[in-house]
Amino acid sequence: STALKQGHITPTELCQKCLSLIKKTKFLNAYITVPEEVALKQAEESEKRYKKGHSLGDLDGIPVAVKDSFSTSGIETTCASNMLKGYVPPYNATVVQKLLDKGAVLMGKTNLDEFAMGSGSTDGVFGPVKNPWSYSKQYRGKRKQKAHGENEDSNWLITGGSSGGSAAAVAAFTCFVALGSDTGGSTRNPAAHCGVVGFKPSYGLVSHHGLIPLVNSMDVPGILTRCANDAAIVLGMLAGHDPRDSTTIQDPVKPFTLPTLADVNKLCIGIPKEYLAPELSSEVRSFWSKAANLFESEGAKVIEVSLPHTSYSIICYHVLCTSEVASNMARFDGLEYGHRCDINVSTEAMYAATRREVFNDVVRGRI
């Protein structure tokens, strides 16, 4: 953003560099759709604003990517499923529109597990997403030491899921911000695998209007960036009430503001003792302690707390997940949009055959 404002690079040059990188890293399979003409047009419009001194802010001219489960006007949205092949939404998801309103340049729609059901980004119809770190010198060197004669093409790491395409896109420098969705870790998991920052906002802080639902009561648009400050900037732009999403916080008087370092000494941070499970690795436990110590050194109060019903949370998650998945998938019946089979014996037979033809084993299993 600073480079754009100071004229060291233009939005068009930046867009072209990212498009070039997308082509060079096509083997990662991070993107499903790349609307080059749309991206270049948006970059040109941004460039005109900069020349006139009318920048829209920190996101103006910044290349972004969006998980292919968010509706994008005029751009195919598939959820990595044959069910939605060819489906072009007539509107933008609220979070997508907010990014575009701030001048962001949409590089493309990213790959995922089919209908966001998975934790590896390996189960979409467009094939698995490959972790950019699979091709680092460090990893390749280790693999050569461990195993000789293996096929190089098979030596790749998963990105985690279900927002693996978005995480890989950020890690591979093909964009600077990417949107994922997070129900039970689908932004944070791939962020951890790919070495980027993944943030799930509190439910109701960011609108999920236009996000094709997995589990309505837990779905939240997630943010993927390369540093925490970038995630905070994007969150500040996305947060707020949306009249099209009744779950968003209805507080028009107090706009969302980012906390400052000075606010840390006003915090009381609880560490649930139930989360220090025996299975927790020593490395994770060490980083957890470092984070707690960092807060404490800045003046925050850190205390141990108890969440005694933690053991039931996984059960509750799976009950909610499977019941809402079954309900949400019912809309994909072959009648109104998406794939439709050729069987016309009866409505029920058409429903069943349509869904059998396009849903993979994971989706059918959850239903």
CA 31, 36, 41, 46: dihedral to nearest 10 degrees? 40
H/E element, 355: helix 347-358
Task: Verify whether residue 311 is a known catalytic residue.
Answer: no
Which of the residues 46, 67, 130, 166 is marked catalytic?
A: 67
Task: Verify whether residue 67 is a known catalytic residue.
Answer: yes
Which of the residues 119, 163, 186, 207 is marked catalytic?
A: 186
Closest to 93 measured CA to CA, from 222, 201, 218, 198: 222
Tokens of 109: 């729609």
Secondary structure (3-state) at 272: strand
Give me the amino acid identity at 287: F
- Spell out the alpha helix ranges (H) of the chain: 2-5, 11-24, 36-52, 94-101, 137-146, 164-171, 188-194, 228-238, 282-297, 310-329, 347-358, 361-366
Task: Report the chain's C-alpha Rg in angstroms.
Answer: 22
- CA dist 203 and 201 (Å) reads 6
How many residues does this entry show for the chain?
Answer: 367
Task: Verify whether residue 162 is a known catalytic residue.
Answer: yes
Closest to 186 measured CA to CA, from 223, 225, 231, 226: 223
Which of the residues 46, 69, 162, 181 is marked catalytic?
A: 162
Which residues participate in catalysis according to the annotation? 67, 162, 186
